[in-house]
Structure 1
Amino acid sequence: MSGKNYLDLMQFFEGYVRNYRRLNLTGDHNRSMMTNREIDYFANLGEMLGFDSFVEDSKFDKIKNRSRPMDLAWWRWDSLGDMEHYDHLALHLERENSFNKDLDTIDKLFSETENEYIPHNVIGIQTLNSNEKIEELNKVVKGRNSCQQSKVLMVYRYPDVEKELERVSAYLFTPRKADVAKHAVCKRDDFGYWFMCFEKEYKFYEAKTAKKEVQLL
C-alpha cells in the first residue's frame, strides 16, 4: 500500500461537468476569468469537503531551486493529531488555458519537492488546440507519476470545429489500477452561456433532434 489517501477524482469530474453552467461563463469572459471561476469552483468544493483550500499556495521545486505556486491546494487537517501542522497535501490542482504550457503544467504537478508537499491527488485541467497531443501527454504523466504515486485526473479541453463545440476528455490514473476515461462536450447555449454535458447525453440529444427534423419534413 502507498499510504496515500486517494479521493474519488472522477466523481469530482462528473460534478464539474454537471455544474459548469453555474459558473455563469459567457463568450464575453476571457481565458483568465474562466480560469479563475474554475479554480474558485474547486476551492469551494474543497472547503465543503472539509479541506483547507489555498489559491496560489507556495510549493518549493528542488530542481528549479525556487517556489512555484500551486493554482490550488487542498490541505488535510487532522484535529486528533499534530495541531501545528497539516496532515498532508490532499490535492494539487493546476488549470492552464495556454496551449503551449501543457508540459509546464505537468511539470508543476509532479515537481520534485519536500515530502510534505507531495500531493496524494492531482488534477490538471489543460486547454489544447486539438486532441493530437493527448496520448503523448498522458505518457508523460504516467512516467512522472511512477515516482510520485499520486492519484491523477487529467482533463483536456479542445475544439471540435466540425461540430462547433469543444470536447472535454478526462483520464484517471491510479497506481496499480486500470486507467479510466470519460468524455464530455462544452458549448454555449442559446443565451451565450457555456455548459457541459457528457458525450453520450449529447449524442442522444442529437439523435432526438434529428428525428424531430425528419418528422417535420
Structure 2
Amino acid sequence: MNDAMFMKRMFHGYIRNYAALRWHVLNNYADMTSLEISYFSKLGTLLGYVPVREYADVPPAQHHYANKSNPRDLVWLNLEENKVILHLERENESSNYFNAVRNVKNKLLDSAQFPEDRYLVGVFGWVTDADYSGMIGFVANNNHYQKKNVMFISYIGPTKNEATQIVCDIFPKGSHERCEAWAELDKGGYWYAHFGPAPSAECQPLPPPAVPRWIQIKAGTNQITNQRT
C-alpha cells in the first residue's frame, strides 16, 4: 500500500465510522474535538503505533528554534525508532486554520520542516469556502508541504452549524487528490456521514451505499485533471 492509498483508507474509515463517534446535537464542539482525537488515537494503536497527545517535538539541528515545539494535538510514534509517523491537528473555527496551516513556527507547517517522513493531518471542523480555498492553495504551492504526505479533512459551510460538506484533500508528496462526503443528522439527533450526492430535503428511497470518488487535481492549481473512483 502506497502513501496515497493509506491516506485514502484513513478517510474512508473515518466517514464510514463517523456515526460510531455518537456526536449528538446536544454536544458542543469541544466534545467533537475530543471524540475525533480519540478516534485517531485508537486507530494509531490498532496499527501498532504509540499515540501521544500534546507531544512536544525535539527540533532537528539548525531548526528555527532550539527548544521543544509547541504541543501537537496528537502524534503516532514508531515504537522501534521513537519517531513521529503521523502528526494531527484538530481545529473548530475557520479563523484558526491560518495558525494551524500557515504559521511557519507552529503546528503543521512547523512539523513539515522536520526531517522524518511523517504524515501531516489536519481536521477542520468548520472552514468557509474562502478560507478553504486559501488553505488548499497555500499547501499546494508550499515547498515544505510538497515534500510530505499531507491530508486535510475540511467541513465546509457558511456557518459552523451549516458545515455539512466534508472534503478530503490528500497531497502525497506533491500530487493532489480530493474526495467529497456529507454529514447528516439521524432521527435521534446523532450525526452520521456518507459518500455520494448531497443530501436532499425530499424523502426518497434509500439508495445503495455510495463509494468514494477521488478526483485528481493539477499540481499547484484547482483544476481537475482526472476523475476516478
TM-score norm. by structure 2 comes to 0.74
CA distance in 1, matches of 2:145, 2:163: 37
Deviation at 1:76, TM superposition (A): 1.2
Match of residue 71 from structure 1? 73
> How many matched pairs?
195
SS of 1:26's equivalent in the other structure is coil
1:8-157 mapped onto 2 (5 Å cutoff): 8-59=6-57, 62-63=63-64, 67-78=69-80, 85-86=81-82, 88-106=83-101, 107=103, 108-111=107-110, 115=114, 118=116, 120-146=118-144, 149-157=147-155
Look at both structures and tell me which one has the larger radius of gyration over its CA atoms.
1
SS of 1:59's equivalent in the other structure is coil
Deviation at 1:132, TM superposition (A): 2.4
Q: Which structure has more RCO (C-alpha within 8 Å, separation ≥ 6)?
A: 1
1:194-213 mapped onto 2 (5 Å cutoff): 194-200=191-197, 202=198, 206=200, 209-210=203-204
Cα shift readout 1:19-57 (whole Å, capped 9, x = no counterpart): 011011101111111000000000000000011101111
SS of 1:111's equivalent in the other structure is helix
Aligned-residue RMSD, C-alpha: 2.9
Q: Among the aligned pairs, what percent are the same residue?
A: 25
CA distance in 2, matches of 1:129, 1:12: 21
Change (3 A) 1:99 1:160: closer
Change (3 A) 1:48 1:145: farther
CA distance in 1, matches of 2:92, 2:117: 22
TM-score norm. by structure 1 comes to 0.77
Pick from 168, 176, 180: which aligns with 2:177? 180
Cα shift readout 1:78-107 (whole Å, capped 9, x = no counterpart): 2xxxxxx41x31100011002211011113
8 A Cα contact 1:110 1:144, kept in partner = no
Amino acid at match of 2:56: S
Cα shift readout 1:125-145 (whole Å, capped 9, x = no counterpart): 113342222222112123335
Change (3 A) 1:153 1:112: closer
Change (3 A) 1:95 1:188: same
